Structure 1
Amino acid sequence: MRRLEAGDNRSITAGFQATSCVPARVRHGVLAQWRWLGLWVFGLLLAACASAPHPGAPSAAPPDPLVEARRLWRELPHQSDAEVSARIAMHCAAYAYLALGSRHAAQRREAEAISNMCSGLLVDFLLEHEPPRWTAETLEVGEAKLAVEFRGVSSSLSGTMALIRADTVLIPPVMGTRYATPGLGIPLVAIQARCTDHPACRLFPSEGVARPVTAWVEQDGEGMPHLVMTDPTLHPDIVVNNQHAVLASDVTAPLAALYDKSRLQRLAIWNLLGGTELAVREGLYLLEDYDPNKTPIIMLHGLGRSPLIWARLTNMIFGSPELHARYQVWHVVFPTNTPVLLDRHRVQQFLDDGWRALDPSGAAPARQNMVLIGHSMGGVMSRLLASNSDEVIWNAVFDEPVTALSGTPADIAVVDSIFHFKAYPGVSRAIFLAAPHKGSPVADEFIGQLALRLVRVSAPEVDALLRVAKANRQHESLALAADYQKEGLSSISTLRPDQPVSHAAQSLMPVASVRYYTFAGSLPGARPPGDGFVPLSSAILPGATSTTIVKSGHQLYLNDQVLTKILEILRQP
């Protein structure tokens, strides 16, 4: 019913003007019997005027958002046009978002289900029809506007990025379980080339950064729909009208997406045979944004391997909310064709360089209580990173102090830094998996001798060592010189139990402030007892906080019993 405007008088019956909520005056000469009818109509009009809105008030009550969401959801199966369906799904999801604020739990559950179904249809349409690179912008969906908003995503994502539905990313068997949490929204993977504008950018994998995001639709105060995306590991829930809604998440899909793109394992094997591509990739790598308050777990791979061996353990840590909130996983890429002590020296440099980029002031809590996890040769390196060398190794190489040697200052400094070292500061725990702490007899067997002939070493530090040794023949250990002449100098040769330098390094144990844990494999019938590569007598160390022996071969990083035990260790204070 419209308001009466000045001069707007329209007669609908004799004697009445019924277009107004105010009664018209009765004309003279109207028949008496019509008066009663007029009064009755007047009463009806007065009642209608009492319920009509006053000037300036809303013309109608807003629709129930859950009712509207249901109605739009029911419309979708009857639409054949994809763009029209996407527009309906967009508004359906926006209404369902409003219904998440209901005080009734059953209605909130229904609203979440409708929101996810409608948001999923909209996201599928946009991923198919929009450009592959996404950024914050306003799109048109069936002649309706949609704002794309990135709210609280990873700081390593900036500019444009690719988006993939997380449930379409295949999880390789080596990674184990997909860790996905149900809730509000559509889990996605955001992928972007690594940044170049900050020193920490080089700590991300060259394949790029992959981060989890979760998408849902809401509307702003003006009724415009927004496709909102956030990182569910940083913001696990949202609040709608004082009601909390937990966001859906998939933390495995981003890891799997990077795993699928990586060429590291092929490069690691090629590196043993003299390939140089891995040298470009060596260094410390972060799989997520650095957190100054989370404890780093530093994972070191073994001979001819790469950080890809840690895919399952990394996935399990990410999949545990308790552990993921406490730890950040750091992988190290290093060439495994060079001697173990040189690899230890390089890993220390990688860690030092990483801390300079991440925490120049040296005050971050993350520097305390670091955890080392190493497999095979990486386990030996972990032990040496947690130990003080004192003069033990130096005396196995030279019979004179470093100050008495001949050579260039640069070469002598390199040799000194390799053979003299302190336990890496901040390390409080070390976990050794199938580590040949006392060497491996395989290095002396046929396969080891074949490897000695095939493995090629190319490193400036080795060249410096050879120059210093040549200039100080009279002070060089005769046993070491003879061993080098016969066996050469490589990662394989330094795994031999009787190699002079390695034999000396076997006596170095983690400092008292470092708790260490040993894991070993034992195969039935193996002689000597062990995993076929590393004997039990070499993998087990005295003084360990715990020792775990499992029925397994050398690849303990794939053994679920071992990995479960590692998670138990990580949960400890």
Structure 2
Amino acid sequence: MKHPALCLFRSVLTAAFALGLAAQLTSCSSPQQRQHTKITVIANSGSKQSQEHHLAEALATAESCLQRGIDTPEQLARYNQAVEHAVLLWLAGSEQDLHQQRLNVDSREGKPYQVQASWPAKLRFDRLIPSWTVKRGSLRKNIHRQGAGAPFVAQWEFTPKRSENEPFMSSKGYFASVTATLDFQASESERTIARLVIHNANITPDVRLGGNKHTLNFDQSALAEHLLAYDNEFSALGALLRPHKYLDQIDLQTISPPDPDRLPVIFTHGLASEPRTWQNVYNELRSDPVLRERCQIYFFRYPSGVPVLYSAAQLRTKLAELQQTLNQKQTNRYSKQMMLVGHSMGGLITKTQVQDSGDTMWLNFIDYTQNRVRLNDQQLAALQQYLIFKPNPHISRVLFIATPHRGSELADWWITRQFRKLIKGPGIILRTPLMALDQDNTDQHAQSAIDKLFHSGIPTSMENLSPKSKFVKDTINLPLKKDLRIHSIIGNLKGLDLNDPECSDGVVPYTSAHLQQPDSELVVPYGHSAHEHPMAIEEIRRLILLHLKELK
């Protein structure tokens, strides 16, 4: 047993070290950090005259930089910092929610300016977050193109009113990578025109400033770091153990308004996971300019403790809503040729979108055909949404990553069975449609089967993953959509021969993840998180580009 005095001494020492380190970091903060803090304070709490004075100073600095040239790293850094400060002060001096596109700025000593601001018509934003202020460290790669301009993460914040017209907006809103530049020109009046342009950094590679062409600064990873780490309301573990408490958070999210001119690619996470699992995939895919311009990534979020068929029905509904939304604007080939990517259990949810259930799943649950269970149309529809499904005609390519098509014996381990008992909620979720059965008109044998189902318990998602489960045995044999392009990425943790029964990603055996005659199969030397391996990300990129090429 540790001595209490020793424990107290260590606690005090640790606290003292932390305080000293914090003080040291504060004193050693970079000039850029200290200057940014100063500008932020002025922008947030300074008087209008003070803000205007400092905005004039920032504009004068940026103009001076362009006149002298921004060819060296030092010159470029000084110009970019002046642009960043000017943008923050311009936002503070503009009308909230409007951002004045023309703003007269007078200085105490220097010359006056008129800021003329512009940005792409499709760009919506309430906030501009300087990229360098975004907390880093969760991504494998930092994707940043050095150049002229101040990079920002633009955010159009969520409001209930906005969400009525934007069903795929996350609870934090929409985001975009943008870069601001300043250029100047004389005018007939005494005011110098300061052209403040906020560029869509995804598609603008370069810009003309001071009459010269420059590469546009672009910080892609700031958006990826900020985006998925920003979702702190959804607990992957909580949604596994208490899924009924997260049903209102089931959604299909994207970072910008759905664009009918871009290919929808839908990513679905697996068990005890969340959209954040795709963070590196998202970051590195968007380093490709073709993908940034021509495809739009969506994330399906769901509580992973519910039965797979429940989550599959929710995704089916969300995809139908997406199809309707895209075609409200115009009919296009992309919305009718969607691509789905599923990891682990997310692959099983994905697979049900392109399968024909027939009456197999119905008999799996109810044991008796639909005509033996007398239901009205409303009751029948309540059950059919989970148990009867057809292939989505608007999906033409699927990618399964580490997907247990034949289950995983890990789901039957003793420790896993004990953990399964902690999952609460599936019965609550499915009881309503099942109890909608009219017991007076229901066949006695069918009612007995339903009572037995309740007595034994609604299966959880983890039970669905057992090789012994009816779900796994049935879905492996359900027919897939005709002319569907099918691909697999499979992990091989120990580098074993694929014919070795022990070949596995540590969770899913190769024999379970392997499909007969897929269009392609890639085996990566990695564990169950195979989607994060560089080879896997490159394969995802290759397949999306291939899909785009075939749609021409």
Same structural fold, with TM-score higher than 0.5 when normalized by the shorter chain: yes
Contact 1:151 1:228 (8 Å CA) reproduced: yes
Structure 1's 114 and 446: CA in aligned 2 closer, same or farther, altered over 3 A?
A: same
Q: Paired residue for 1:233, among 202, 208, 214?
A: 202
SS of the aligned residue for 2:461 comes to coil
Aligned match of 1:356: 324
SS of the aligned residue for 2:515 comes to coil
Q: Paired residue for 1:182, among 136, 146, 155?
A: 146
Aligned match of 1:426: 394
1:498-545 CA distance string (max 9 Å, x none): 222331112124323111111222233897431222111111111211
Aligned match of 2:412: 444
Structure 1's 198 and 300: CA in aligned 2 closer, same or farther, altered over 3 A?
A: closer
Q: Paired residue for 1:157, among 110, 114, 124?
A: 124
Whole-angstrom distance in 2 between the partners of 1:500 and 1:394: 11
SS of the aligned residue for 2:400 comes to strand
Aligned match of 1:217: 182
Whole-angstrom distance in 1 between the partners of 2:152 and 2:540: 29
Contact 1:149 1:229 (8 Å CA) reproduced: no
Aligned match of 2:3: none
Q: Paired residue for 2:481, among 511, 527, 546?
A: 511
Between structure 1 and structure 2, the one with the greater Rg is 1
1:63-82 alignment runs, 5 A limit: none
Whole-angstrom distance in 2 between the partners of 1:302 and 1:445: 19
1:38-87 CA distance string (max 9 Å, x none): xxxxxxxxxxxxxxxxxxxxxxxxxxxxxxxxxxxxxxxxxxx9998874
Give TM-score, length-normalised by structure 2: 0.77
1:82-97 alignment runs, 5 A limit: 87=56, 90-94=59-63
For residue 152 of structure 1, what is the amino acid of its counterpart? W
Contact 1:194 1:201 (8 Å CA) reproduced: no
Aligned match of 1:331: 299
Whole-angstrom distance in 1 between the partners of 2:151 and 2:380: 55
- Is 1:568 aligned to residue 539 of structure 2? no
Contact 2:203 2:293 (8 Å CA) reproduced: no
1:320-354 CA distance string (max 9 Å, x none): 11222221101111121211112111101011123
Query: What's the % identity of the aligned pairs?
Result: 21
Whole-angstrom distance in 1 between the partners of 2:165 and 2:325: 5
1:164 positional shift: 2.4
SS of the aligned residue for 1:316 comes to helix
SS of the aligned residue for 1:383 comes to helix
For residue 387 of structure 2, what is the amino acid of its counterpart? F
1:312-461 alignment runs, 5 A limit: 312-360=280-328, 363-398=331-366, 400-458=368-426, 460-461=429-430
Whole-angstrom distance in 2 between the partners of 1:513 and 1:439: 26
1:245-324 alignment runs, 5 A limit: 245-264=214-233, 266=235, 268-274=236-242, 276-324=244-292
Aligned match of 1:70: none
1:419 positional shift: 1.8
SS of the aligned residue for 1:284 comes to strand
Structure 1's 346 and 536: CA in aligned 2 closer, same or farther, altered over 3 A?
A: same
Aligned match of 1:538: 512
SS of the aligned residue for 2:535 comes to helix
Gaps of 5+ in 2: 1-49
Which stretch shows the higher mean deviation, 208-217 or 482-491?
482-491
Whole-angstrom distance in 2 between the partners of 1:226 and 1:327: 31
Contact 2:151 2:219 (8 Å CA) reproduced: yes
- Is 1:529 aligned to residue 503 of structure 2? yes
- Is 1:465 aligned to residue 434 of structure 2? yes
Contact 2:76 2:147 (8 Å CA) reproduced: no
Gaps of 5+ in 1: 1-80, 100-106
SS of the aligned residue for 2:421 comes to helix
Structure 1's 507 and 243: CA in aligned 2 closer, same or farther, altered over 3 A?
A: same
Structure 1's 431 and 456: CA in aligned 2 closer, same or farther, altered over 3 A?
A: same
Aligned match of 1:23: none
Aligned match of 1:76: none
Moved over 6 A (4+): 81-86, 240-243, 480-484
Which stretch shows the higher mean deviation, 295-304 or 215-224?
215-224
**How many pairs were matched up?**
480
Whole-angstrom distance in 1 between the partners of 2:322 and 2:525: 37
For residue 185 of structure 1, what is the amino acid of its counterpart? G
Structure 1's 142 and 472: CA in aligned 2 closer, same or farther, altered over 3 A?
A: farther
Whole-angstrom distance in 2 between the partners of 1:364 and 1:259: 29
For residue 217 of structure 2, what is the amino acid of its counterpart? A
1:416-472 CA distance string (max 9 Å, x none): 222221111221111111111111112211232123211112454443135549745
1:308 positional shift: 0.7
Aligned match of 1:489: 459
Contact 2:372 2:446 (8 Å CA) reproduced: no
Whole-angstrom distance in 2 between the partners of 1:343 and 1:227: 46
- Is 1:474 aligned to residue 474 of structure 2? no
SS of the aligned residue for 1:454 comes to coil
Whole-angstrom distance in 1 between the partners of 2:323 and 2:115: 36
SS of the aligned residue for 1:412 comes to helix
Whole-angstrom distance in 2 between the partners of 1:494 and 1:394: 15
For residue 90 of structure 1, what is the amino acid of its counterpart? L
Contact 2:55 2:89 (8 Å CA) reproduced: no
Whole-angstrom distance in 1 between the partners of 2:174 and 2:217: 21
- Is 1:194 aligned to residue 168 of structure 2? no
Contact 2:488 2:522 (8 Å CA) reproduced: yes
Q: Alignment RMSD, CA only? A: 3.4
Whole-angstrom distance in 2 between the partners of 1:460 and 1:510: 28
1:362 positional shift: 6.7
For residue 281 of structure 2, what is the amino acid of its counterpart? L
Whole-angstrom distance in 2 between the partners of 1:436 and 1:238: 49
1:49-128 alignment runs, 5 A limit: 87=56, 90-94=59-63, 110=71, 114=75, 117-124=78-85, 127=88
For residue 520 of structure 2, what is the amino acid of its counterpart? S
Whole-angstrom distance in 2 between the partners of 1:469 and 1:513: 41
Whole-angstrom distance in 1 between the partners of 2:63 and 2:227: 33
Contact 2:243 2:425 (8 Å CA) reproduced: no
Whole-angstrom distance in 1 between the partners of 2:244 and 2:113: 49
Contact 2:166 2:257 (8 Å CA) reproduced: no
Whole-angstrom distance in 1 between the partners of 2:493 and 2:462: 23
Structure 1's 367 and 165: CA in aligned 2 closer, same or farther, altered over 3 A?
A: same
